[in-house]
Chains A and B, each alone.
Chain A
């Protein structure tokens, strides 16, 4: 068993990906499948049927102890105390400058919180949680013996309900424990594609059987990181490290919706999270730049880092593309990026400079493809 790439880690389903023809690439320290048949086909399979993703590279963490919800609120601007049992919520760790250190999903699973964080941030996140929570008597457990998979698309419910009918009754952002293919799985009705679907934490040893069982159902296809990116981009969802990072504030990023009233000015537990000064001020007064959707007018995708100008020649730089690719469902290139307040209005025409040439883009609403969640 040669370690060809330095220290790259393999997920529990590595062999399955290879056997199914995946092209494996290094991603956040892991060897991950970028595509099987092709990005377009996988993208469309998810929008039309059910796409199956392995996301075991992401970090799963259990937080347990008296007062865990209150303690966790010191790290995030979300209402965790008010998060009902069996429910999940989008959240982010902030820093003292009001930037975002990572975005995450947090679930109230009764006697503990279950947190899923980005692969590239796992170590920092676990260290952050240990430092902040352990002194308060909270036990922080990084779960490394479970795989994480996602089943996404309009066909996901019927497919998963075939294994356990209880999952059909779950609503968007419900979480629960359900037996699937004989294993005890932590299931949430959520995802990263804008489609209805589920994320499933399954004991490592049981992962392959669950996945091959799902792949045996009609309409289920394996989907790699390539289509995952185009799906989430069409859905207007941020990729940490690209669309949001330690310098972007949640308000700039258009994530104000994810900060509940209880933590805002005048709320029951106002502030009390890192960077509250900046974030609460921006919530009140607005930010000076905004994350927006961008529709390039031509056929060429506009990639990360493309500078945006307010004129076809000359003019001033008003922003930058943070994510961009071809959107198979939209049928054309789509992008998102940050622009100044003045340039952020929907319909504004801007020009992105690609290899010295300025190409027109129009500021548009996000998401590009409406979400199919089951509320």
Chain B
């Protein structure tokens, strides 16, 4: 194992692998990624892999776009499939206001070079015949996004980074992060790694990992459910894949998974997980499902997509999902701790991880912060946010689901 490196990335999920990939591409190949178990352990392995270009914040849209590009590029570089399904996405307008906002967003997509169309209810019905379009006002359609296989993407990223000279250490948990002359020392069971730069990409573990340095990162794991249905003959009979659908009224996303549906719900009473510390033996684990809080949403989904009413539920996955008080990740340097960088707090890590990693790697390798991305800076919450305030804010972000913000 390398014991003295330019940069160590802690965490082998989609975000850490993306950071390692981008650093290696930009020439920082004296790099090691330290993963406590296997790549994708944590949240990546059970993620839906959804990546949509739709979003009310143009800068975030750029991160989404950069993510798909990063994974596809890694696929070409490594030969490992990232399983990209370019289904396109529909963001339904449940209200006239949502449709108005879609028109507000449209010019930004033009400037980013991302295809974006506003569809009438009739056009939505043609794109997605299982949506009951009578109660919607239209949809925003981003035809070139879709979903990837998170495990394939993580492996493609890691393999490409390795080809360029970076290394990956599995089963190498970082026990402590301490300052060392000229950088940082990371204690692991395999020995100490010293690094000029450290990137913490450990999702909900980052909070306890950095607490000994006096940092109080307001990121906590919520419980988030995904439901996968049995195969549906109506879907199996189609020869093209359905576009993904997101709906503020149901507060859910739905996409095709094989011949069934995969549904992610942002329910009104989210539960947190492991607030008193992540269990030390937590591995590729799921949490016991709790369907009751989801029921009102599933009932609405039966209205919106009557086909769902006829579907048997195959599995309900409940997994931890990291959130920050504003729902955006923490990216960038930690103030007054030269060489310590964060790439954590992602709730849609597949969606924004690849693009965020490019931003961070360019920042690290050039020393120049990205322009106009203050919204994701690592230091924006300070160090004095108390737990109750953070949890209240996270709860609000979570329950907002796909509602569009007032002020842009």
Contacts and interface: CB of A to CB of B under 8 A. Distances in A.
Interface stretch (A27-35, A200-208, A353-361): A200-208
A40 interface: no
Nearest to A186: B113
Nearest to A212: B76
A212 B73 contact: yes
B35 interface: no
A182 interface: yes
B146 to A, nearest CB: 9
Interface in A175-219: 179, 181-185, 202-203, 205-206, 208-209, 212-213, 216
Contacts of B333: none
Contacts of A146: 113
B86 A182 contact: yes
A145 to B, nearest CB: 8
B110 interface: yes
Q: A1, A181, A206: which has the most chain B beta carbons within 10 Å?
A: A206
Contact of B72 (A179, A185, A202, A213): A213
A208 B144 CA distance: 17
Nearest to A181: B72
A179 B110 CA distance: 12
B112 interface: yes
Contact of B76 (A1, A202, A203, A213): A213
B314 interface: no
A183 B144 contact: yes
Contact of A206 (B69, B86, B143): B69
Nearest to B112: A203
A146 B113 CA distance: 9
Nearest to A185: B113
Contacts of B113: 146, 183-185, 202-203, 205-206
Contacts of A206: 65, 69, 113
B144 A209 contact: no
Given A205-B65, A206-B65, A183 B72 contact: no
Nearest to A179: B115
Contact of A183 (B62, B73, B114): B114
Contacts of A1: 366
Contact of B69 (A184, A209, A216): A209
Contacts of B109: 184
B260 interface: no
A205 B69 contact: yes
Contacts of A216: 76
Given A182-B68, A184-B113, A184-B114, A208 B73 contact: yes
Contact of A182 (B65, B76, B366): B65
A244 B86 CA distance: 46
A162 to B, nearest CB: 13
Interface string B239-282: 00000000000000000000000000000000000000000000
A41 to B, nearest CB: 23
A34 to B, nearest CB: 24
B98 interface: no
Interface in B115-152: 115, 143-145
B353 interface: no
B74 to A, nearest CB: 10
Contacts of B69: 182, 205-206, 208-209
B13 interface: no
B345 interface: no
20 contacts: A146-B113, A179-B143, A181-B72, A182-B68, A182-B69, A182-B86, A182-B145, A184-B109, A184-B110, A184-B114, A203-B113, A205-B62, A205-B65, A205-B66, A205-B113, A209-B72, A209-B76, A212-B76, A213-B72, A213-B76
Interface of B: 62, 65-66, 68-69, 72-73, 76, 86, 109-110, 112-115, 143-145, 366
Which 7 pairs from chain A and chain B are nearest by CB?
Answer: A203-B113, A182-B144, A179-B115, A184-B113, A209-B69, A212-B76, A184-B115
